[in-house]
Amino acid sequence: MSYLVTLTINRVPRTVELDDPRVTLLDLLRERLDLPGTKKGCDRGQCGACTILLDGRRVNACLALAISHDGADILTIEGLAEGQALHPVQAAFIAHDAFQCGFCTPGQIMSAIGLIGEGQAGDDAERVREGMSGNLCRCGAYRGITEAVLEATRIMADTTQEKAA
């Protein structure tokens, strides 16, 4: 038996046939849709390397069954940049050297975007660290990550205010 799942992935509608209802969003993205930016870390929802935005909310893709999210809107690291223009969080991560090996970086960036979008980042480093605590960095780039999230929060707030004016 097969199952059809329709998802909008990085602003592109996709219909995928699943032979197994136990396929996770992580495996669907990486193995079937050739979107390897979402990383498979612990495969238990503990490291955050697989963080994506699902209907605008941060989700560990390794814990989400694809079949359960028929009709959902998914944003992965591959869908952030607009041509050559990086998303403000991506640019801030580069500016603050918020990565070393880079393995956790896609999940960190997606989580940061979700945190900012939820209005939970603010201008307090402790709030940012707490809000990002579900994303582990084995290299210990936490200071740069926190600084990048704070800067991106300011930039995105300024951009929002400019558009409203």
pLDDT digits (tens, 9 = 90+) for 49-63: 999 999 999 999 999
**Could you say which of 79, 100, 118 is where a domain stops?**
79
Judge if 69 and 98 occupy the same domain. Answer: no
Residue 73's CATH number: 3.10.20.30
Q: Assess whether 94 and 40 both reside in one domain.
A: no
Per-residue model confidence as pLDDT tens digits over 106-138: 999 999 999 999 998 889 999 999 999 999 999
Residues 56, 92, single domain; the answer is no
Is 102 found in the same domain as 34?
A: no
Q: Which is nearest to 85 in space by CA: 97, 98, 94?
A: 94
The residue segments making up the domain with residue 96 are 88-164
| Residue 7 contacts residue 69 (beta carbons within 8 Å) | yes
Domain termination site, one of 62, 79, 96: 79
106 in the same domain as 47? no
pTM: 0.94
